[in-house]
Amino acid sequence: MINKELVIVFVKNIKLGKVKTRLAKTIGNQGAFEVYSELVKVTEEATKGLNTNVHIYFSDTIVESQWEGYFKTVQKGKDLGERMKNAFAKGFENGYERIVLIGSDLPDISSKHIEISLETLNKTDVVFGPAEDGGYYLIGLTKKHDFIFENKPWSESNLLEVTLKELNSKNIKFTNSVKLNDIDTYEDLIASKFYKSNLKLQEKIKQLND
């Protein structure tokens, strides 16, 4: 294998009532479904521009119509931490040396963010893309650090802070990349460039909520 870099994308299967549940409280399940579908397209676009191997990990079942021609599989594990840990383990087992994992609901993600993170892994052990809500939208590793994914406050606002403290205590070098905002609430949605520039999506949300 010449290319030692891998990008893993975690995708939630787009099911009504299962995606963007906090957002759904304001704009309804169908509205949240439409928003998430558009966000996945943004992620798909960002990964298409990459000159590296990309593996797609779906939450439940493989969707053939998304990421056509890419390696696709299903996440394994009882919580997000275990699923990420298993995905990284598989990547390292397959001989990759720099692995970056991203989610699929970021309105501003671009191939540049991912490329910079992969590059950063030449100089550091761990890289994070911090999210505005205190979590992270991207994590990159040069070797397995299982503790990063164990006993963590998933979906809590101190996730990244707790994780970085632990890395510090173990003297593991890390770097934080660009901070981006994901879309969890209606306020996040209407403030985003992604939404303001997507007239078709605005129209759909309006029709659904009229």
The pLDDT of 53-62, averaged and rounded, is 96
Q: Report pLDDT for 49.
A: 83
131 to 33, 41, 94, 139, 157: CA distances (angstroms): 21, 19, 29, 11, 10
Q: Report pLDDT for 2.
A: 52
User: Helices H, strands E: what count in the chain?
Assistant: 7, 7
CATH 3.90.550.10 for domain 5-205: yes
Give, in degrees to the nearest 5, the angle at Cα 71 between 70 and 76: 135
Binning pLDDT at 50, 70 and 90, where does residue 1 land? very low
What is the separation of C-alpha 48 from the centre of its chain, rounded to a whole number of angstroms? 15
Residue with tokens 């994992």: 101
The pLDDT of 204-210, averaged and rounded, is 88
- pLDDT above 80 (res 3): no
Tell me the per-residue pLDDT of 134-143, one tens digit each, with 9 for 90 and over: 999 999 999 9
- pLDDT above 50 (res 147): yes
Tell me the per-residue pLDDT of 15-46, one tens digit each, with 9 for 90 and over: 888 889 889 999 999 999 999 999 999 999 99
Find the helix or strand (DSSP H, E) in which 28 lies.
helix 21-48
Q: Residue 79: how many CB atoms within 10 A of its CB?
A: 12
Nearest to 178 by CA among 133, 127, 142: 127
The pLDDT of 116-121, averaged and rounded, is 96
